[in-house]
Amino acid sequence: MTTTKSSQHRAEKRTRIAPATFNRRDLVKGAVGAGAMTFALGAQAPMIVRGQSKTNVTFWTTYTDTGLKNLTDIVNAFNKQSTDTNVKIVQIPPAEVTDSSKLITAVRGGTGPDVYLLDRFIVNERAANGLLEDLTDLMKKNGMNPDLTEDYIEFAAREATFDGKPYALPFDTDVRALYYNKAMIKEAGIDPATWDPSKGVLLWDDIKATAAKLNKKDTNGNFTQAGLVPWFDQGLPYTFGFSWGGTFFDKSKCEVTPDNDKIVASGDWIYNYAKDQGVDAFQAFIQAAMKPGAPPQQNPFIQKRMAMWITGDWSIQNLATYAPDIDYGITYLPVPTKGMNSTTWAGGWSVVIPQGAKEPEGAFKFMKYFAGPEGQKMYTKASSHVPTLKSVQADKSLYSGKHVFFIEKLLPTTKNRPPLPVGAKFWDELQTAWQKIYLNKESAKQAYGEAKQNTQTLIQQFCPIT
């Protein structure tokens, strides 16, 4: 008990800086000089629409495009059936998933939203920072069990829990796989039927050989077509690290372990892939599509310029919308050596109430709907993601076509990122290491070693992590 977070916090209280010493009165006095201008501006700050009996709840999301549309549909459905709450969805600028700067600055400025859609593996970090409301009381009041594991699948519930308390309601989850354009791999002399998942798991080295045959360059050495850029989209440190059988966190030592042999081996494979097939050319080829929030139309697979694509279940919908004419297949993520089991990983999002929310009650009503059976069912059908509510996940009628493969075959093979109070920092460090590896700037061992060291300097203050 003495080692838990809360007692640690209590101990820290004694050494806190007294808030009164941050002298704010002087500043206010100084501001008086600004006179009428201050008032004129200050008055226009809060815009509250009055004369409405419903509670207004603001819901922020970084989703764009079809993702935003799917969320808006759920919000509209909620507003239609709710008698006392009206939710307004606000799209805020997307950035890297770990970048919550708009949320953080808004909450600190007292202008945050009531509900925020947060990538679930960051919940722990934001909760540790004190950005999020503890949902325990609201859940009890609404007749829900604060132990999220009862209704939600295990890993999602764990990600949404910090220090034994619920800080988020899990929304969706997702699974990564290898997509391939059948017509294009035929060009490389592969019979697409042999890649069918029923024929077993493929080998990464075979994928590499096939991809090399499909690379085409123009006279200037630029790719006009590529077989596979394995670090594009969901080709991430976690994807390959898990595929090689690595683990990213050692709980007993309270140590992140990107430098473990298996993860380094996966990095070496990427390093050599880039070296063998062209570092700079790849970079120019995918640069436009790699930007955060880049539109699907810039995706080389959708443009039929890339034969293979490591991505998630949601891409079924994107392909149906943007490239309905591509005949493609989906298979397990390949493995490094024959006989290994294929492993993939799952992430997903959740809804949280940031500190200082003006309408936490109304916010929770919406969250209960949004992350409850109604919202999850709508979202699963619209986006081909995977629900996190056990009851909804079991509902087979929600899945059709290629989506079934994800639920039946891939879901049992998933791992997930360790939910850490430094999850965002660790993610960023891994991404930087990843770039150094695929740009051939540093060996995997060196890059991942640095990622470990940089994360470790930060994680120590939270140890032990329970």
Partner 1 sequence: MNPSTTVQTTVDESLSAAARAQGRTGRFHLPSRGERRNLVLGLLFISPWLVGFLAFLVYPIYYTFRLSFTRYSGFGQPTWIGLANYQRMFDDQVYHTALWNTFYYVALAVPIGVIVAMVLALAMNAPVPEVPVYRTILFMPSVLPLFAISFIFLTLLDPNQGIVNEFLREFGIHPPNWFGDTRYAKIAIVAIAQFGAGQVALIFLAGLKGIPQSLYEAAMIDGAGIASRFRNVTLPLMTPVILYDLILGVSQGLQVFTESYIITQGGPANSTNFYVYYLYANAFRYGGQMGYAAAMAVVLFLITFAIAILIFQTSNRWVHYDVT
Partner 2 sequence: MAKAIIAEATQTAEQFRSQRRAHWMRLFSQQVLPRIILIAVCALFLLPFYWMVVTALKTTPELAKYPPTFFPSALRWSNFRDATHVITFWLYMRNTAIITALTVIASVISNPIIAYGFSRIEWPGRDKVFLLVLATVFVPFPVLIVALFDIFAKLHWVNTYLPLIVPMFFGQAFWIFLMRQFLMGVPREISDAARIDGANEFRIFYEIVLPQALPAIGVISIFAAIYAWNDFLGPLIYLQDASKYTIAVGLAFFRSQHDFQYSLAMAAATIVVIPVIVLFLFFQRAFVEGITVGSIK
Considering only residues 196, 250, 280, 408, which one is a binding residue for partner 1 as defined by CB under 8 A? 280
Contact between 28 and partner 2 (CB under 8 A)? yes
Does 129 bind partner 2 (CB under 8 A)? Our answer is no
Q: In whole angstroms, give the CA distance from residue 460 to residue 437.
A: 26
Q: Does 355 bind partner 2 (CB under 8 A)?
A: no
Closer to partner 1 at the Cβ: 211 or 447?
447
For 43: left if phi > 0, alpha if psi spans -120 to 50, otherwise beta; the answer is alpha
**How far apart are alpha carbons 319 and 297 in whole angstroms?**
10
Give backbone dihedrals phi and psi of 242, rounded to 5 degrees, phi first.
-65, -40
Binder to partner 1 among 65, 88, 92, 96 (CB under 8 A)?
Answer: 96
Distance CA 228, CA 400 (A): 27
Q: Which is nearer to partner 2, 39 or 337 (CB)?
A: 39
Q: Is 33 in the site for partner 2 (CB under 8 A)?
A: yes
Cα–Cα dist 236/333, whole Å: 12
Report, in Å, the least distance between residue 363 CB and partner 1.
18
Residue 110: contacted member of partner 2, partner 1, none (CB under 5 to 8 Å, by partner type)? partner 2
CA–CA separation, 347 vs 122, rounded Å? 11
Q: Is 38 helix (H, G, I), strand (E, B) or coil?
A: helix
DSSP category for residue 406 = I
Which one of partner 2, partner 1, none interacts with residue 98, CB within 5 to 8 A by kind?
Answer: partner 1
Q: Does residue 222 belong to the site contacting partner 1 (CB under 8 A)?
A: yes
Q: Taking CB within 5 to 8 Å according to partner kind, which of partner 2, partner 1, none is near residue 92? A: partner 2
Q: Which is nearer to partner 1, 22 or 143 (CB)?
A: 22
Residue 298 touches partner 1, criterion: CB under 8 A: no
Q: Which of 110, 130, 164, 221 binds partner 2 (CB under 8 A)?
A: 110
State the DSSP string of 87-107.
EEEEE-----TT--HHHHHHH
For partner 2, which is the closer residue by CB, 246 or 354? 354
Q: Is 127 helix (H, G, I), strand (E, B) or coil?
A: helix
> Dihedrals φ, ψ of 382, to 5°?
-75, -35
Query: How far, in Å, are 101, 136, 137, 303, 307 from residue 299 at the CA level?
Result: 27, 42, 44, 6, 12
Indicate which single residue of 64, 68, 91, 99 sits in contact with partner 1 (rule: CB under 8 A). Answer: 99
Q: Among 10, 199, 275, 441, which residue interacts with partner 1 (rule: CB under 8 A)?
A: 441
* Interacting residue ranges for partner 2, rule: CB under 8 A: 22, 24, 27-28, 30-31, 33-34, 37-38, 41-42, 44-45, 64, 90-95, 102, 105-106, 108-111, 288, 291-295, 297-298
